Amino acid sequence: MEKAVEMTTMRLTVPVIAILRGVERDFFGDLMRVSFAVGLQAIEVTMNTAGAEEMVRDCRPEVPAGKFLGMGTIRNLHEAERAAAAGAMFLVTPNLDVRVIEFGRAMNIPVIAGALTPTEIFAAWAAGAAMVKVFPCGAMGGPRYISDLRGPFEMIPLVAVGGVSQDNAAAYLAAGARAVGVGVSFFGREAYQRKNLEEVAVHVEKFLEKLSDSAG
């Protein structure tokens, strides 16, 4: 995991973005702190999570140096503006909206723009996206699709999202993805549901160690 990804205001050295959709507000702060403490670098809270903006606004001052709290499922410019106002350190979209990318560049907030086809991926990169989120990657063949895209687009940092798990994350990185986005399975689904922070920490560490071992 030694290869870093440079973004406008973000240096991503750990190639995982943990994605939280529907997380409870009273649990998020503790979850964020313990995950950052054991090595996670970037957490994304989706905009369509109840209270998402308040969570980010409340927890943003607690984000340690070198860690990043962002917002995802940013589908349009209005949502991008709301996320920025809440203090999001990066924005992630499920779709390609050039206005969101332009807004992020103007605000010096990295945008990881969602795209799927080769045409969309190149358009997102040409518009100034910091990285391009290939979504839903699993439905398109998984790591093989990333490998195929890397042929013509070796200069574009791709983030594989959709169907990524502890079992296949290393394969996505080996195929050429610069990072992966993982949902609640990253934290251990049962541990997450029980709000068992000790078990969550173990799952996060194991996930990151597995990636580190595969990279080494």
Q: 52: closest CA among 79, 78, 34? A: 79
Catalytic residue among 2, 3, 6, 44: 44
Q: What amino acid occupies position 161?
A: V
Q: What amino acid occupies position 62?
A: E
Which residues 6+ apart lie within 8 Å of 180 measured at CB?
Answer: 15, 16, 17, 159, 160, 161, 164, 169, 172, 173
* Catalytic site includes residue 44: yes
Tokens matching residue 12? 């991503």
How many other CB atoms are found less than 10 A from the CB of residue 35?
A: 25
Catalytic residue among 133, 190, 198, 199: 133
Q: 94: closest CA among 69, 118, 119, 112? A: 112
* Catalytic site includes residue 154: no
Q: 171: closest CA among 22, 15, 64? A: 15
The phi, psi pair for 47, rounded to 5°, reads -60, -30
- Strands in 15-162 per DSSP E: 16-20, 42-46, 68-72, 91-92, 111-115, 131-134, 158-161
Indicate which residues carry an active-site annotation: 44, 133
